[in-house]
Structure 1
Amino acid sequence: MNEVRSLWWACRVPGLKEPFDTAHLRVFYPARATGSDAERLTGVVAADAGSGPFPVVVLLPGINVPADSYRWLAVLLAGRGFVVVTPELVGELFGGSHGVTPGIDLEACGPGAYGSRATTPLIGAVLAALAERAPASPLAGLLDAERVVVGGHSAGGTVALQSAAHVPGLRGVFTYGAHTLVAAALGHPPGTVLPVGADVPVLLMSGEHDGVVAASTDRYGAAPAAIADPVARTFHDALTDAGGAHAWVKIAGAGHFTICDPVDATSARSFLEAPQAGGDQARALLGRLAAAFCAASLPERPSPADTRAYGALLAPPHPGLVSVLRR
């Protein structure tokens, strides 16, 4: 595993209004210290040039979840050879309130508009910022913009799935606690599942005890019995068959915020579920799944061992997984 360092950047997000149009970016990268005076004086450590160019992973947050909650996962992925960006954008939420958001474009989610553009401008803004800023950073010449994976938690995972067809260089999408059932208030028929249009592998991960998804079903305009598990509906109804490239795993003992470390109890909706026993073990398995998926989604890069590692994690009965489905 590589040494990991990070940079702090910022970017404007097109289409948003000041002052809520600036995303702050944490960019994690594989590093190799040279011991130079510049490193000693600035704290900026050289990238591991011998391991580049690096594929890019963009991690999108849930509503009102600070980016630092995903730092553990960003460090894990960067240590395995990826440049990982965790953007933090404070913007408009529902009803005129403001908070941390993956930049949801509600109009793009509506009938007649869905599929015509990404449902968040944040992904494009982040990738553009990487291309613009990298040449003057330790990552100069070391980014591979043709190999991109987008991951997301909760609402961040939802817009990752919805926007996948509009991300240049996309090779895969992974999510935790996310689905594409759409709020009936946006004009769709009750219980509508929006399709994932991109032809890339998708890994859906969910927790056995997700209290937030369970507490949100009234948004979708249909009786809870008709909705069932929104992640299950997404797997079965939003994805087309891909010869086993898509997977849905349910992690034993995990809740909606298992992906977060730490969990910020002053924000978001963690109060909707009790702390889950064994959360550290569930989180570690989640990280292994995400890392193996990212590697297996890049056939030019990994060794056959990377693909075998992902397959082994999905081979039931794997300890720590309640269920595994592939299509």
Structure 2
Amino acid sequence: MKRTFPWHIAVFLAPAFVIYAVFSAFPLIDTLRLSFFTTSDSGAQSWAGLLNYHTLLGDPNWSEGFWNAMRNNVKFFLIHMCIQNPLGLLLAALMSTKGVKFAKAYQTAIFLPTLLSVVIIGFIWQLILSPLWGVSEKMLGWVHLQDFFAPWLGQEETALYTLSLMSVWQFVGIPMMLIYAALIAIPDEIIEAAYVEGASAWRIFWTIRVPLILPTLGLTTILTFVGNFNAFDLIYSVKGALAGPNFSTDILGTYFYRAFFGYQSQIGSPTMGAAVATMMFLVILGGVAVYFYFIQRKLQRFSF
């Protein structure tokens, strides 16, 4: 029997393929290409090989800022991993418990900040935390903790952690909903059988529910990793491209912005910006590869 090419499948896939190629694949390939060129004062580009990467990693004028942004980005990611995802798991477990009143209303309220503009989120939190007209000091006074108030967004030691917690508050609804969907998909017969055997709710959660949602927990981990190492908008909306104070909130996204477009006294360089973007891509690619090689394979073996 002669097989014909499934043209109908190609027709349906073509729009998605074209959009992906134009807006994702081609810009990525062109960025990789541009990173191997250098720009002269006249704007002309010439082949430079690995010179941009040597400058980025070896020239103190570039490497100090790059590694500072990398360290801050790792801290930004770890705060989300240690606070946002466990909190999302806790909230999802509570919402999936039978008998919780107004669970849907709570889910909507927690998920709502993810739908708001990051500019709005940043502006609101700046008003709340402002030492001049913010309400945070007064609210801490209600519980007799006003002595702990400080200009957290204005201090080098606390600015990055404050911005990270603002981001956690905004996006905790995403892991909550993903984990919640996985929890309610667990068959009731398994949970009921465990109760019949005399298992406590705490033991059921850790020995039955959590192992069954490990793929979802892995998904939330990799989404958190990719999202955090692509972060830019919150830092920029609150602290600007300089990511102050004294670059203490600088991450790879804001460092790339200054390298590519320039800012104030810093002159932008498209080729150096492309090198920074390529390094960001390699970091994300490396993290995703580690996840799929060491974690996803184990989860697949566990499922079999």
The normalised TM-score by structure 2 is 0.29
The answer to which structure, 1 or 2, has the higher relative contact order (CA under 8 A, 6+ apart) is: 2
Which of structures 1 and 2 has the bigger CA Rg? 2
Q: Of Structure 1 and Structure 2, which has the larger fraction of its residues in strand?
A: 1
Q: Of Structure 1 and Structure 2, which has the larger fraction of its residues in helix?
A: 2
The normalised TM-score by structure 1 is 0.27
